Amino acid sequence: MSAGNLLESFLSMMVAERGAAQNTIENYQRDLEQFLTFVPKNNMADITDEDIYQFVQKLSRMNYAPKSIARKISALKEFFKFLFSEKEIKENPTAYLMAPKQEKPLPKFLTEAELKRLTGAALKKEGLSGRRLAVMLILMSACGLRVSELVGLPENCINFDKKEILVRGKGSKERLIPISDEAIEAVLDYTLIRDNFIRGGRKSIWLFPSLNSSSGHVTREAFFAALKDLAVEAGLDPKKVSPHVLRHTFATRLLNHNADLRSVQKMLGHEDISTTEIYTHITSEKLIETVKRLHPLSRLK
């Protein structure tokens, strides 16, 4: 079987058996196609660990970030593990391949004042698209959603009586997140104009449908671009504002208001609490203020 056919079989397996998300499949395909271009051997059994090593070294020379290299290595390991299990190769050339060590970057976030400026600028926008953007911003910052989760929300995702939103996250795993009165009110007002984004009076399953998107709903790219423009209007550095920064801001605010780490983990949809723990550095300033205010030695002159 050709390399291209094997790659197609691998990606199909990832979808059918692993339930891999579309983003994951696209990343795997792009990374593995890059490798197969670098090592033009149609017979996968001819690929050696030296070929893999040379590919990783080239990525380093091309100044790929350690995180990107680690992702590509992960794709290679999964691909060759699949080939080995299918008996397409006798030895796995990635068996002893190690990913580069990565420093965990500290998450960027907006202050409460900056978030208010951004939300205020959104609420001042005129037109239907402006009103939709404001609701999306409020909902994302109030619930800590990933951008893919936000744009893919179904119309019936909110239980207005229980004040909860049902979100389908990575790996199609569902979680319930409490939703604030402000966000509920914003969504209810938006539902009055929602049909303007549906062509020809047809039905749509999406909370944020779009007339211009093939997916039927607002795309991640469109929301990202609109958010950057909004940051400029709010007098903020657009480099500092992104959907992921809004998610970080949500987590930061919760921890700064004494939410426990497990609750934040569940609301963010993190599999491992160590992923959530990175936010705890942000509370350091608050801890310092608390020590200065309450510790007996801090009051000694």
* Residues noted as catalytic: 146, 170, 244, 247, 270, 279
Q: Which residues of 91-100 are buried (b: 16+ CB within 10 A; e: fewer)?
A: ebbbeebeee
Of 181, 170, 110, the closest CA to residue 139 belongs to 181
d(Cα 93, Cα 48) in Å, to the nearest integer?
Answer: 5
Say if CB 136 and CB 233 are below 8 A apart: no
Q: Tell me if residue 295 falls in helix, strand or coil.
A: coil
Give the phi and the psi of residue 206 in degrees, each rounded to 5. -90, 145
Question: Locate tokens 């910052």: which residue?
Answer: 141
What is the token pair recorded at 32? 């593995």
What is the token pair recorded at 10? 């691998």
Task: Specify the DSSP class assigned to residue 94.
Answer: T
d(Cα 236, Cα 216) in Å, to the nearest integer?
Answer: 31
